[in-house]
Amino acid sequence: MWELAGRADISIAFPPFSKVAVAFVSMLFNGEFTAAYADSLPPLLIGLCITIIGGVIIGVSIGLVRSTEWFIMPLLIIFQTAPVSALIPMLTYIYGISDTAKVVAIVILGMPLVALNSYKGIQATSPSLLEMAKSFRASWFDTILFVILPSAQKMIFAGLRLGVSGAFIGIVLAELLITPTGIGDLITYNRFVAHYDKMFATIVSILAVAGLTLGGMSKLEDLLFPSEKNE
């Protein structure tokens, strides 16, 4: 499909698949990808760690301790619905053109999703299971460990997948809008110099990295919680 559409001469900005594939391979070996990812991956990884760990901790704690709910929930919902690209110039203003700005953009895009889903997962714990734990006088800690967390596990992982996608959007947005480095720069630069095959190759590469990361997470989930597979 793509090959046909590209060959059909609709626009020079839309190269056929074969050309993109060639560009992809050449960029993979001539160091262009390596250089770009060397710039993009460190802030992405830091951002992902903060997103995942912070998001789960925030989500789980507001799920467990109701008194924090009124304070954190509105913030999360605002961040989840806000047009984040509008916030990005503000980030540039605060953090300058730096890796910190990238990390913050990732966290803003990813963390609310992780936190909200973790929270919802905790909230969705069956009241009857909680009552059961209480009737057997399970401690608060045991109830969380053996009842609440396993029951929220699916939602938490769904949130992590959404959060990781959000983080990828964050890094590309930040590099497109704030700091012309890394992957974002590779995309912008190739567009300016009309190397559309290279631009698409870069986009394909980031999609592939994101896809592989998400696939790896699903595998990890199956590995960690094999019993869920039986359902």
Partner 1 sequence: MDDIILKTEDVGVIYDRSIVALENVSLNVPTGKLTAILGPSGCGKTTLLKVIAGLIEPSSGTVKIRDKETIGPGPDRALVFQDFALLPWATVLQNVAFGLRAQGVSKREREKTSLTYIKEVGLSGFEDKYPHQLSGGMRQRTGLARALTVNSEILLMDEPFSAVDEQMRRKLQEDLLELLKIENKTVIFVTHSIEEAVYLADQVVILSGRPGSIAEIVYPEIDRLGEIDLIRRQPRYVELVDEIWSSLKSYVE
CB atoms closer than 10 angstroms to residue 101: 23
Write the binding mask 151 to 190 for partner 1: x where contact by CB under 8 A, - elsewhere: x-x-------------------------------------
Whole-number Å distance between alpha carbons of 57 and 194: 45
Q: Nearest approach, Cβ of 126 to partner 1 (angstroms)?
A: 8
Q: Which lies closer to partner 1 via its Cβ, residue 129 or residue 209?
A: 129
Q: Which lies closer to partner 1 via its Cβ, residue 70 or residue 136?
A: 136
Count of positions on this chain that bind partner 1 (CB under 8 A): 23
Check binding of 225 to partner 1 (CB under 8 A): yes
Going by C-beta distance under 8 Å and a sequence separation of 6 or more, which residues neighbour residue 93? none
Give Dmax (Cα) for the chain: 72
Which range of residues in 73-81, 116-124, 126-134, 211-219 is near partner 1 by CB under 8 A? 126-134
Whole-number Å distance between alpha carbons of 105 and 91: 8
- Nearest by Cα to 159 from 222, 214, 92: 214
Check binding of 81 to partner 1 (CB under 8 A): no
**54, 151 contact by CB (below 8 A):** no
Check binding of 134 to partner 1 (CB under 8 A): yes
Contacting residue, 29, 137, 192, 223, with partner 1 by CB under 8 A: 137
- Nearest by Cα to 116 from 150, 84, 75, 149: 75
Check binding of 128 to partner 1 (CB under 8 A): yes
Whole-number Å distance between alpha carbons of 157 and 19: 37
Contacting residue, 93, 136, 192, 223, with partner 1 by CB under 8 A: 136
Site residues, partner 1 (CB under 8 A)? 126, 128-129, 131-139, 142, 146-147, 150-151, 153, 225, 227-228, 230-231
